[in-house]
Amino acid sequence: MSLADVTFLPEDPAHDHEIDDINADAFGPGRFAKAAYKIREGGPHERGLSFVALHEGRVVASVRLTRLVAGEGEALLLGPLAVRPAYKNRGIGKKLVHIALDAAREAGSGVVILVGDEPYYGPLGFKRVPNGQLAMPRPVDPNRLLASELKEGALAELQGEVMHAALARKSAVETA
Ligand SMILES: CC(C)(COP(=O)(O)OP(=O)(O)OC[C@H]1O[C@@H](n2cnc3c(N)ncnc32)[C@H](O)[C@@H]1OP(=O)(O)O)[C@@H](O)C(=O)NCCC(=O)NCCS
């Protein structure tokens, strides 16, 4: 199997069950305690900006993007990104990140953030978010809070408490 045998497609609700399995396998029960999971609990992910890799009709990898806000800024949260163990190290993860970043750019997003390993995401264009700039809903190793700026200045607009965009809209309506 090579990368050429893999098809990359926007996510569809029919993929949900397989995506859940892949994420459960990749991250285990600990995934529910993560800061990124807490943000994603605030609302849905962006179906149109989330992608799967298919091989012989089966979902073998997935990446999702979720809208968030922090201060005056808006961003997309990348993750979970996971590849079935038998399909690792063939370039599928990197290709999904490239596809997600292109989709984010095309959708007009200024910045994509994630919590992940800098050695993996650094070569894909992600840099550390300056210490103290963002307050995540759960503790995060600051070395793992990374951003890829798609429009100059978009990262600087992200300040303070990070939350799902839908949750921020809901609280704005409730306090109006
Ligand atoms: C991390 C993950 C998405 C990478 O996907 P993949 O398709 O196997 O990776 P790719 O083929 O795109 O890239 C492989 C390269 O990345 C490196 N790599 C993989 N995971 C890495 C990590 N956590 N840190 C640094 N490098 C890593 C591999 O060693 C390999 O290096 P090489 O090209 O020099 O040989 C996949 O291993 C996975 O699903 N892991 C479990 C879930 C996870 O950790 N997700 C990311 C957290 S947000």
pLDDT tens column, 22-77 = 999 999 999 999 999 999 999 999 999 999 999 999 999 999 999 999 999 999 99
The partner residues of 78 in beta bridges, in order of sequence, read 65
pLDDT tops 90 at residue 170: no
pLDDT tops 80 at residue 130: yes
Phi (first) and psi of residue 129, to 5 degrees:
-75, 135
The residue behind tokens 């809903």 is: 137
Question: Which atom in ligand 1 lies closest to the alpha carbon of residue 119?
Answer: 25
pTM of this prediction exceeds 0.85: yes
Q: Whose CA is nearest to atom 4 of ligand 1?
A: 93
Do residues 127 and 154 touch, judged by C-beta distance below 8 A?
A: no
93 CA from centroid of ligand 1 (Å): 7
Q: What percent of the chain has pLDDT over 90?
A: 92
pLDDT for the residue numbered 10: 97
pLDDT tops 80 at residue 107: yes
Give the E-state strand segments of 46-172 in sequence order.
51-55, 58-71, 73-83, 111-115, 127-128, 134-135, 145-149, 158-164
Cα 176 to Cα 158: distance, rounded to the nearest angstrom: 23
Residue to substitute in 22, 113, 120, 124 for testing ligand 1 pocket (most ligand atoms within 8 angstroms of CB): 120
Q: Report helix, strand or coil for 149.
A: strand
Residue to substitute in 89, 94, 117 for testing ligand 1 pocket (most ligand atoms within 8 angstroms of CB): 89
Measured from the Cβ of residue 121, the count of other Cβ atoms closer than 10 Å reads: 22
Q: Report helix, strand or coil for 42.
A: coil
pLDDT for the residue numbered 176: 72
pLDDT in tens, 27-39: 999 999 999 999 9
Which phi-psi region, left, alpha or beta, contains residue 6 (left: φ > 0; alpha: ψ -120 to 50)? beta
pLDDT for the residue numbered 41: 95
173 CA from centroid of ligand 1 (Å): 41
